[in-house]
């Protein structure tokens, strides 16, 4: 349903900074999200995950590449039309508190976008009320308990549910959840993750799930695809469980090794721990493997040629791919 081809985003150099080179935040990224499907992106800070999400939600324009949504090439549309069209993609950001105006009640926060839609669709205030109750029920909140409240009177989990409810007012086809639970109290995270999963299963909303946390990608992205992003490029992609269970790329292996929840549960492979070395090299020439300066397995070829992403279902960009099992076996029905 959504098809992204060769997405690239170059930010101009910031003035006044030393070594002012333009920043290639996203480079030739390709992926698709099927209807009711889920795609997760993992990668370190600064790898370009948020930039991809913001482009998809129409908040940032790509430098090049194409975005197809339901057979329409969005990048070819005039800006106003594109904005309207991209309402089908709603972004859920990290901080629900920042996303809500502290001076507006929940009723007002949900009423504002609903009034716009009611006007467009020729609906009245009764429709707005029904719809408001409907989206709140969908996110597991009893309307009477929140409508007159202000954001600070709710828990972080409830606030994020309200943000999701507001996104649902426009009937989105896709939710982009960018670190959507990282600022929520740990005890409330699972509930919000479950909600994202349920919205996908019950209402067919597709999910682009952006995270540092492989464990939540595995939970939300069951039967989905996982993309491992390194310095703006996809370096491994494929079915989520398969990548976690049989990662090819040393970077993926190092990311997985660093996750305590996934380690040593049962039956881990012989290669239990692959270190993630410090990243001190800012600019890496196009002619070498991006990960080579940090890779414990780098060989001469890695310093001479950038590996392309190869393979179809489970793809990787490594000259010397070796499956190293660093986590326990993934059980299909878990979670
Ligand atoms: N508006 C901007 N202007 C200039 N550079 C930017 C801008 N937005 C992002 N960048 C740069 O683009 C790169 C990717 O940033 P992005 O925020 O997409 O990473 P991320 O993977 O979401 O990181 P994090 O995990 O910390 O959220 C970084 O080098 C960042 O500094
Ligand atoms: Mg980010």
Q: Residue 213 C-alpha to ligand 2 middle, in angstroms? A: 12
The SS3 of residue 248 is: coil
**Residue-by-residue DSSP string for 305-318:** -PPPPB-SSSEE--
Each residue's pLDDT tens digit, 95-128: 888 899 999 999 999 999 999 999 999 999 999 9
Average the pLDDT over 172-197 and give the result: 91
Q: How far apart are CA 203 and CA 170, in angstroms?
A: 13
Identify the residue whose tokens are 């716009």. 116
Give the percent of the chain with pLDDT over 90. 67
What is the number of the ligand 1 atom nearest to the C-alpha of 9?
12
Domain boundaries, the chain: 2-223, 247-335
Chain-centre distance for alpha carbon 268 = 27
Distances (CA, A) of 313 to 187, 227, 247, 255: 35, 12, 13, 21
Which residue puts its alpha carbon closest to atom 7 of ligand 1? 11
Distance CA 91, CA 175 (A): 6
Please work out, in degrees rounded to the nearest 5, the angle formed at the alpha carbon of residue 252 by the alpha carbons of 248 and 258: 135
309 and 237 in contact (C-beta within 8 Å)? yes
Span 183-205, average pLDDT: 90
Please give the share of the chain, as a percent, with pLDDT higher than 70: 91
Q: What is the pLDDT of residues 241-271, one digit of tens each?
A: 999 989 999 999 999 887 765 544 455 556 6
13, 16, 46, 178: which to mutate for ligand 1, most atoms within 8 A of CB? Answer: 46
Ligand 1 lined by 65 (C-beta under 6 Å): no
Q: Compute the Cα dihedral for 320, 229, 182, 172 and give only its sign.
A: negative
- 175, with CB counted inside 10 A (0-12, 13-18, 19+), is buried
Per-residue confidence at 288, pLDDT binned at 50, 70, 90?
A: very high
Superfamily designation of domain 2-223: P-loop containing nucleotide triphosphate hydrolases (3.40.50.300)
Percentage helix, strand, coil, to 5, in the chain? 35, 20, 45
């Amino acid at each position: 349903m959504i098809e992204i081809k060769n997405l690239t985003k170059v930010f101009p150099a910031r003035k006044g900074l030393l070594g002012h080179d333009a920043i290639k935040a996203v480079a030739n990224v390709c992926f698709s999200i099927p209807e009711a499907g889920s795609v997760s992106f993992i990668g370190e800070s600064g790898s370009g995950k948020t930039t991809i999400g913001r482009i998809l939600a129409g908040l940032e324009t790509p430098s090049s590449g194409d975005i197809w949504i339901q057979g329409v090439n969005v990048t070819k549309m005039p800006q106003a039309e594109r904005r309207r069209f991209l309402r089908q993609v709603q972004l859920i950001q990290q901080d629900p508190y920042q996303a809500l105006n502290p001076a507006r009640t929940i009723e007002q926060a949900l009423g504002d976008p609903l009034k716009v839609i009611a006007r467009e669709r020729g609906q009245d205030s009764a429709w707005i009320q029904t719809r408001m109750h409907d989206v709140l029920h969908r996110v597991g909140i009893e309307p009477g308990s929140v409508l007159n409240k202000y954001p600070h009177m709710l828990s972080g989990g409830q606030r994020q549910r309200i943000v999701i409810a507001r996104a649902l007012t426009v009937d989105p086809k896709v939710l982009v959840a960018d670190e959507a639970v990282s600022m929520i109290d740990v005890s409330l995270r699972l509930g919000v993750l479950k909600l994202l999963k349920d919205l996908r299963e019950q209402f067919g909303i597709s999910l682009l799930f952006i995270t540092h946390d492989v464990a939540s990608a595995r939970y939300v992205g069951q039967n989905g695809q996982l993309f491992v992003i390194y310095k703006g490029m996809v370096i491994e992609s494929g079915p989520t469980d398969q990548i976690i269970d049989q990662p090819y790329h040393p970077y993926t292996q190092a990311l997985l090794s660093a996750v305590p929840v996934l380690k040593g549960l049962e039956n881990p492979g012989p290669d239990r721990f692959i270190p993630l070395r410090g990243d001190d090299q800012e600019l890496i020439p196009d002619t070498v493997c991006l990960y080579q300066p940090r890779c414990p397995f780098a060989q001469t070829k890695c310093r001479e040629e950038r590996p392309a992403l190869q393979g179809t279902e489970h793809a990787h960009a490594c000259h010397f791919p070796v499956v190293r099992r660093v986590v326990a076996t993934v059980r299909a029905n878990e979670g």
